[in-house]
Amino acid sequence: MMKARVTVTLKNGVLDPQGQAIEGSLKSLGFSGVGAVRQGKVFDLALDGSDEAAARTALTNMCEKLLANTVIENYAIEISN
């Protein structure tokens, strides 16, 4: 069994109102020196099998079809045994 983590973030240049709201809230809570907050998603998955190449192909397909909106989001895949 393998474990995978998919991190999905907005592409540069895409407005991030949630990130801006978080940044404003952090500042109002007294956390100074915080800027350019970007919000994203993390998916942790357990995968059957031990073929890392096949797992990466399957994960890429998952991202392209469901986990990420590739028009406005990037994704990164990490796989561990």
Is the pLDDT assigned to residue 60 strictly greater than 90?
yes
| pTM (predicted TM-score) | 0.88
Distance CA 37, CA 35 (A): 6
Q: What rounded mean pLDDT belongs to the chain?
A: 96
**Mean pLDDT, rounded, for 47-73:** 97
Residue 81 has pLDDT above 90, yes or no: no
Nearest to 79 by CA among 36, 44, 40, 30: 44
CATH label, 2-80, candidates 3.60.15.10, 3.40.190.10, 3.40.50.970, 3.30.1280.10: 3.30.1280.10
Instruction: State percent of the chain over pLDDT 70.
Output: 100
Q: Which residue has the higher pLDDT, 81 or 67?
A: 67
| Domain ranges for the chain | 2-80
Q: Are 47 and 62 in contact (CB under 8 A)?
A: no
